[in-house]
Structure 1
Amino acid sequence: MNRIMIITGGTLGDWALAEIQADDILVGSDRGALFLIQHGYRPHISMGDFDSVTADELARIRASSHAFIDCDPIFKDLTDTEMAFNWALDQKPSQILIVGALGTRFDHSLANVHLLRKGMALGIPCAIMDANNLIMVIDQPTSVRRGPYTHLSLLPLSLTVTGITLHGFQYPLHEATLEIGMSLGISNVLVESEGLIALSSGLLLVIQSKD
């Protein structure tokens, strides 16, 4: 199945529109659905509690989406982004990209980063992107490309990550261990067009940044 791109209600801009590919399945989560529609896109599905839009905007979202799912904003257990992410996982896509998942609410931003673990566990490549960062979680050797990103940071998402070995980076690591609270993996630099991150155990958060 094609890539699913989830547009949710955090910080958005023209950079997000530039990431849309012609064959993407577009999922609008809460105000992210309105963002798509305002820029001429018709979401494959829009879902959420829509507590961040007006009644008129909600009517526009409902009329302009191929499919629409709403829920009570009080009596629900999942965030809008997790609802959309779970739906995307059920479709078994080739990849999931989430934009608008980072913003002024740090609790929501952190919860959205944690969602990436669910996709990794199912073998579905997942990432979060904003104007300056590309974020993913890995538990096995992974190649990364430099592209527009100047820096790369590694943070443990599990208590300990062992056997971290880097190839193609300015600051190499060999069989290193990272534990929660350590900043050893912050602000590395790719010196090759492609780098390899290897690890033996644990969950590693990989953050590529432009600034």
Structure 2
Amino acid sequence: MKNINIVAGGPSHLIPDLSLYQEKNTLWIGVDRGAAALLEAGIVPDEAFGDFDSITEEQKKALEKAAPRLHIYQAEKDKTDLDLALSWSIEQQPSSIRMFGISGGRADHFLGNLQLLYQTLPKKVTTVMIDRQNEISMFSPGSYTVKQDETKPYVSFLPFAETVKNLSLEGFKYSLNKCHIALGSTLCISNELIHSQGAFSFTEGILIMIRSTD
């Protein structure tokens, strides 16, 4: 099953080296200025979404010439360009979705983008937001494993909109056993794995996991 990589128009200095994420059976999706960023990285987007009001005419012409499928929308609409691209991507039933260029810059855009992760939970699509310093993902109740990553050694957990109940952490420097984490708690900030693999589980709520480097 295919993987989908979405590149939006966030600050370019926060977008990692996209060549590291080129794999077989992967679709690349450009969102507005992110489509131009893909071309600059030598990657032709399979699909592109947006009103494209944030790119130059030269970039737009290059995109129209190179990209096989453009989804062009009016600037005034009820959903953001990224929301439209993510909704389309979920309909493709991919194995995973990775989103780049959606952090940094305007705080309202970042917080809105973070909430978009919630859309993927009912579809059970593994989805992660990635920039040069962080990987952010969201989980519904269940049991999960997490592998050690030396490039992003710090692992934090935060509740999303409600209390997370019975959170357990195994294989971490600071373990937990069926602890309730209320919205606003900083108890699970900046943990670390002490083995090659750890595990976490919880029974109620929605949990955000952030993997970071300094």
TM-score (norm 2): 0.94
Q: How do 1:101-180 residues align onto structure 2 when only pairs under 5 Å count?
A: 101-139=102-140, 140-147=142-149, 148-180=151-183
| Amino acid across the alignment from 2:71 | I
Counterparts of 1:62 and 1:103, CA distance in 2 = 27
Q: Among residues 201, 204, 209, which one is paired with 1:198 in the alignment?
A: 201
Taking structure 1 as the reference length, the TM-score comes to 0.95
Q: Size of the alignment, in residue pairs? A: 210
Using the TM superposition, give the Cα deviation of residue 15 of structure 1 relative to its aligned residue in structure 2, in angstroms.
2.4
Partner of 1:4: 4
User: Superposed, which structure 2 residues align to 1:17-166 within 5 Å?
Assistant: 17-74=19-76, 76-139=77-140, 140-147=142-149, 148-166=151-169
Contact kept in structure 1, 2:164 and 2:205, CA below 8 Å: yes
For structure 1, list consecutive stretches of 5 or more residues without a partner in the other structure.
Answer: none
How far apart are residue 21 of structure 1 and its match?
2.1
User: In the alignment, does 2:191 pair up with 1:209?
Assistant: no
Q: Residue deviations 1:19-64, cap 9 Å, x none?
A: 2324310000001100111222111011111111112211211111
CA distance, structure 1, for counterparts of residue 18 and residue 155 of structure 2: 21
Deviations 1:72-110 (A, max 9, x none): 112x11111111101100111111000111121111111
Work out the CA distance in 2 between the residues paired with 1:105 and 1:17.
26
Q: Which residue identity is paired with 2:203?
A: S
Q: CA deviation at 1:145?
A: 1.1
Q: Which structure 2 residue ranges, 5 or more long, are not aligned? A: none
What is the CA–CA distance in structure 2 between the aligned matches of 1:35 and 1:146, rounded to whole Å? Answer: 30
1 or 2, which has the higher strand percentage?
2
Q: Provide the identity percentage.
A: 31
User: 1:171 is matched by which residue type in structure 2?
Assistant: Y
Partner secondary structure for residue 6 of structure 1: strand
Alignment match, 1:182: 185
